[in-house]
Structure 1
Amino acid sequence: MNESQRIAKRHRRTRKDHASETAEDYVEAVSEIIEEEGACRVVDLAKRFDVSHVTVTRIISRLQKEGYVTTEPYRPIELTDAGRKLAKDSKARHEIVFKFLVSLGVPREIAEIDAEGLEHHVSDQTLQVFQDFLKGETIKGTLD
């Protein structure tokens, strides 16, 4: 693979990660709000993300089309099986990145903020290395 192809591959991956970022954040938030409050409504998400009701409605509509949530007018937002799986996986990714950053000495408050963005862009292979590091396993590889 030449340099141009490697660069293109990185950009494709970043675009793909950005495309799924909102879905992951929203289903994770819906899951947390349901767990904390018993039900999740548009107003809850608007407060959580500090966005307008219209923004949340548009995103929820998209997530419904993608099969992650169900909702009806004046009813709470529910996660589908696919939504619950995505929320669980997203939360796990977040926790791994957060714990890894804290283990490196990043203050918890900063690690929480940084993990919120990094969790969407870290490959499964890198996450596995983070997990191995946290378990105290030897890290193999080189920095090129």
Structure 2
Amino acid sequence: MLTESMEDYLEMIYRLNEEKGYVRAVDLAEALNVQPSSVTRMIQKLREEGLIQYEKYRHIALTDKGRRLGYFLVWRDTVLKEFLTLLNAKVGVEEQVEGIEHYITPPTMCLIRNLIMYFRAHPEGLEEVQAMSKLNKYPEGEKLEELRAWLFRHSCD
């Protein structure tokens, strides 16, 4: 089972590989804003999981399994951002996606993708949902500021 950190590394390896055609440990450290020693430890874990191939001082290569999972992780990130943007989330879309993405299942991601496709085909349905969000900010008008959720640690409308 992959940890959140492993998913973040794998997603970035996939992105860098798509962008540059290769991935070096130094590029990964820079992209993730982590120390090279952290990259070295994670590379070992990802190799043990059969997700990458790596030899010291060489490029990091994704295995077939790593490529499939990396593709999904990038797709998941893109779909969640599109969904929140479509619903007019006004604050911290990137941060909210980071908080959601590691805990959502692939079947639920497919449901969200289906909703996006539905709203694109039926903009009137999206308008109805957006109108509903203006009625009440929180369920039943509750004040929920005590919750740890990211939303309450930042100012928003």
> Could you say which TM-score interval applies, normalised by the shorter chain?
0.7 to 0.9
Q: Is the partner of 2:94 in helix, strand or coil?
A: helix
Shift in Å, 1:117: 2.9
Do structure 1's residue 131 and structure 2's residue 113 form an aligned pair? yes
Q: Distance in 2 between matches of 1:96 and 1:79?
A: 22
TM-score, normalised by the number of residues in structure 1: 0.75
1:37-48 correspondence to structure 2 within 5 Å: 37-48=20-31
Identical-residue share of aligned pairs (%): 34
Shift in Å, 1:118: 1.2
| Per-residue Cα deviation, 1:31-53 (whole angstroms, up to 9, x for no partner) | 21122222111111111111100
Q: List structure 1 runs of 4+ shifted beyond 4 angstroms.
A: none
Match of 1:100 in 2: 83
Q: Distance in 2 between matches of 1:30 and 1:126?
A: 24
Across the two proteins, how many residue pairs are aligned to each other?
Answer: 121
Q: Distance in 1 between matches of 2:99 and 2:26?
A: 23
Aligned partner of 2:99 among 93, 117, 128: 117
Q: Which has the higher contact order (CA 8 A, sep 6+)?
A: 1
Q: Distance in 1 between matches of 2:108 and 2:14?
A: 25
Q: Is the partner of 1:39 in helix, strand or coil?
A: coil
Q: Considering only CA atoms, is the larger Rg found in Structure 1 or Structure 2?
A: 2
Residue identity matched to 2:71: K
Shift in Å, 1:71: 0.7
TM-score, normalised by the number of residues in structure 2: 0.69
| Per-residue Cα deviation, 1:66-118 (whole angstroms, up to 9, x for no partner) | 100111111010000110011011111111111111111124x8222321231
Do structure 1's residue 86 and structure 2's residue 44 form an aligned pair? no
Q: RMSD over aligned Cα, in angstroms?
A: 2.1
Match of 2:144 in 1: none
Aligned partner of 1:60 among 43, 62, 65: 43
Structure 2 residue runs of 5 or longer lacking an equivalent are 120-124, 126-138, 140-157
- Over 3 Å counting, the alpha-carbon distance change for 1:106 and 1:63 in structure 2 is same
Shift in Å, 1:64: 0.4
